[in-house]
Amino acid sequence: MTNSNKPVLRIRRAVIFLLFTLIVQAGHPQPSPIRVNRAGHPEDENRVAFPQRENTLRLLTYNIHHGEGMDGKINIERIGKLIIDISPDAAGLQEVDSVTARSGGIDIMQQLSARTGMYATFGSSIPHDGGRYGNGVLTREKPLSTRKITLPGSEEARSALIVELDKYIIVNTHLSLHGAERLESLRIITGAVDAYDKPVFLLGDLNDTPDSAPLTLLRDAWQILTDPSLPTSPSVDPLSTIDYILGYTARGQTYAKYATRVVDDSEASDHRPVFADIRLKTPSAGVMRTIPYLQSPGSDEMTVMWLTGVPARSWVEYGTDPGEMKRVRTFVEGKMVANNTINRIRLTGLQPGTQYCYRVVSQEITRYSAYYKEFGDTVRSGIKTFTTLNDRPDDFRVIIYNDIHRNTQLFEKLHAHVDDKPCDLVIFNGDCFDDTESESDILDRLTIYTSRIRSDETPSIFIRGNHETRGEYSLRLWDYLGKINGRSYGAFSLGGVRFVLLDCGEDKPDDHRVYYDMNDFTRHRIDQAEFLKQELESEEFIKAGKRVLIHHIPLFGMASDEYVPCADLWQPVLKDAPFNVTLNAHTHRFRVIEKGEAGNNFPVVIGGGNKESDGTVMMLEKKGETLTLTAFDAAGEKLLEKTL
């Protein structure tokens, strides 16, 4: 052939290849992007093909045979559908074509990315048929970095694709057909991942059975996470296990296996897909989600609460001497409360007015099965102290907030004016959580409140306002907070002063249309009226030096056309009750109603609202025989100083 004919031949070949590509792609139309949900997972037809346990990571390895199924057809759509059904967090794919003629000139990883809504990374091992051929990785999250390492392959060059994600590393590979080269490849991969300080997972077609020398070598530094007894190849009547998912363990890593499966598909490829659901051990710094916060204080008890970021088993160590503390756990009908994230440990049998040391301890549970459990790190808080309440005539300082709603910046400003010295108790008098529709509505404010008041040493009490009764998550609020002797209302004594706390409920009648016949606060208020009668006759109330009533919605001073939900039930009981003051909220306007001004038998002080212009914080301070109520606005101006 003369050199003059070569350009014509090249053009002719290019035209033929273009026509071939168009013909093939005509039978494989470009996919339309699928919709994905907020978690990044594709929306399916209301079904879950392979259910997954909460808080687990799903990994998939799949040799896709360049998209060619056992029917001899290139069909990327059915590969994508399998991946969508399995719904992995990360998938390692082997035998992947990129714009090769045999696959119709398509970019397989790009097509799978479009179909699954996942990020695609391709690592070429060799040029092939006008394109490239190698390994691909799909991930739900965007990779932080990617790199490729070359591996031995005398007949065909091999490689491993390494994809770094936020919390773990994926290594995807397809090893040589020669045993010596596979052995050397695994040594290279193991050496390459040793520098990472994250969990590392090896996914791939290793071309070796579980009892082979290369797999035996791997067991020194890796844990096989899939079931080696389940064959993966060929896809029709599989005989051999050669596809694996492994976790790197040489640096002390552990992986709890929750599920593994070889997917029963014999059409899409000559291998079957294999996935594993695992739970990663959380770093120590991520086990505790909040600091401890003290709830339900009493003269002989204290409840310690805290949240963990992962399921755990937890306990409290406490005592009057930090060198001699005992452990307390929560048991319900013989079973330890564990594998949860909300921790509530009630300490009982304490001495009144006594300082105790304590710390909270949580150990992550990575697997919780009937006869088998696995654990992560055990994390201990620092040693803190608290003092039980007492009815002796001691001095004290109590801070009261109300109607913060969502304005946590206002809370920060108000607290700065009363944070000059320690207090004995903080009371949140309603509407400090606002229409709780989700867990975050609780946690966002709870973490701010507890950290600011130093709740690991200062107990707090949350009284429910009308807004705390609203929202999809409102019934869960008490999961995160402590009640007073198991109720949303109650009484206690502190420093010779009797505190009575009530729960008013909603601010509209039970039959109002917005409640959809789902409220019965009337019954709740009747129960509290009976409680009030008993409380007023109790020895603790009668012998108290001072008495303070606290509830959210005022009983007195409301406009004549306003609905006062508790007035008809509670006012008759309180008519002659010898309270020194009642502290209320709700109206968002600071007001002092002196005794007798509105039919009230005691002074009424109403706190302000959630705007900086009218926000308030109150302080009850007892020194000797004197009990003083002080109120500040957001600018630190003293609005009231009243001796009770």
pLDDT digits 0-9 by tens, 21-30: 444 344 444 4
At 614, the pLDDT band (50, 70, 90 cuts) reads: very high
Q: What is the pLDDT of residues 250-290, one digit of tens each?
A: 888 888 888 999 999 999 999 999 999 998 888 888 899 99
State whether 292 and 253 are in the same domain: no
Phi/psi at 459 (5° precision): -70, 155
Residues 6+ apart with CB under 8 A from 584: 429, 550, 551, 552, 553, 554, 555, 604, 605, 606, 607
Beta strands in 542-589 (DSSP E): 546-550, 581-584
At 227, the pLDDT band (50, 70, 90 cuts) reads: very high
State whether 358 and 438 are in the same domain: no
Q: What CATH number is attached to the domain comprising 145?
A: 3.60.10.10
At 1, the pLDDT band (50, 70, 90 cuts) reads: very low
Give dist(CA 72, CA 54) in Å, integer: 38
What's the average model confidence in pLDDT over 126-138? 92
Residue at 108 is within a domain: yes
* Closest to 490 measured CA to CA, from 563, 358, 389, 627: 389
Per-residue pLDDT at 63 exceeds 50: yes
State whether 531 and 589 are in the same domain: yes
State whether 462 and 526 are in the same domain: yes
Q: Which pLDDT belongs to residue 253?
A: 81
Per-residue pLDDT at 609 exceeds 90: yes
State whether 300 and 377 are in the same domain: yes
Phi/psi at 431 (5° precision): 55, 35
Tell me the torsion sign for CA atoms 466, 454, 487, 345: positive
Q: What is the pLDDT of residues 310-361, one digit of tens each?
A: 999 999 999 999 999 999 999 999 999 999 999 999 999 999 999 999 999 9
Residue at 226 is within a domain: yes
Q: Domain count of the chain? A: 3
Choose the weakest-confidence range: 6-10, 53-57, 515-519: 6-10
Q: Which pLDDT belongs to residue 48?
A: 67
What's the average model confidence in pLDDT over 518-547? 95
Q: Which of 243, 260, 280 is the last residue of a domain?
A: 280
Choose the weakest-confidence range: 158-162, 325-329, 390-394: 390-394
* Closest to 402 measured CA to CA, from 600, 591, 628: 591
Q: Which pLDDT belongs to residue 47?
A: 53
State whether 367 and 500 are in the same domain: no
Q: Which pLDDT belongs to residue 27?
A: 40
State whether 477 and 348 are in the same domain: no
Residue at 351 is within a domain: yes
State whether 251 and 111 are in the same domain: yes
State whether 161 and 230 are in the same domain: yes
Under 8 Å between Cβ of 458 and 426? yes
Q: Which of 232, 262, 280 is the last residue of a domain?
A: 280
Per-residue pLDDT at 587 exceeds 90: yes
What's the average model confidence in pLDDT over 65-76? 94
Residue at 509 is within a domain: yes
User: Which position has the higher pLDDT, 607 or 2?
Assistant: 607
Q: Which pLDDT belongs to residue 619?
A: 97
Residue at 37 is within a domain: no
Q: Which pLDDT belongs to residue 306?
A: 97
Q: Which pLDDT belongs to residue 485?
A: 86
Q: Which pLDDT belongs to residue 560?
A: 76
Residue at 6 is within a domain: no
Q: Please, what is the average pLDDT of the chain?
A: 90
Q: What CATH number is attached to the domain comprising 524?
A: 3.60.21.10
The DSSP letter of residue 337 is -
Beta strands in 263-381 (DSSP E): 274-280, 293-295, 302-319, 326-328, 331-332, 335-336, 338-347, 355-368, 373-380
Give dist(CA 87, CA 607) in Å, integer: 52
User: Which position has the higher pLDDT, 35 or 198?
Assistant: 198
Q: Kindly report each contact of residues 524-531 with a partner whose C-beta sits within 8 Å and lies 24 or more positions away, as own/partner.
A: 525/565, 525/566, 525/569, 525/570, 526/569, 528/489, 528/502, 528/503, 528/566, 528/569, 528/570, 529/569, 529/570, 529/573, 531/489, 531/490
Residue at 18 is within a domain: no
Residues 6+ apart with CB under 8 A from 342: 305, 307, 479, 480
Give dist(CA 507, CA 562) in Å, integer: 9
At 54, the pLDDT band (50, 70, 90 cuts) reads: confident
Q: Which pLDDT belongs to residue 17?
A: 41
Q: What is the pLDDT of residues 419-472, one digit of tens each?
A: 988 899 999 999 999 899 999 999 999 999 999 999 999 999 999 999 999 999
Per-residue pLDDT at 45 exceeds 90: no
Residue at 1 is within a domain: no
Tell me the torsion sign for CA atoms 222, 225, 226, 228: positive
Q: Which pLDDT belongs to residue 85?
A: 94
Q: Which of 224, 256, 280 is the last residue of a domain?
A: 280
Q: What CATH number is attached to the domain comprising 330?
A: 2.60.40.10
State whether 263 and 316 are in the same domain: no
Choose the weakest-confidence range: 6-15, 150-159, 433-442: 6-15
What is the domain extent for residue 355? 284-387
State whether 132 and 254 are in the same domain: yes
State whether 243 and 159 are in the same domain: yes
Per-residue pLDDT at 31 exceeds 50: no
Q: Which pLDDT belongs to residue 515?
A: 93
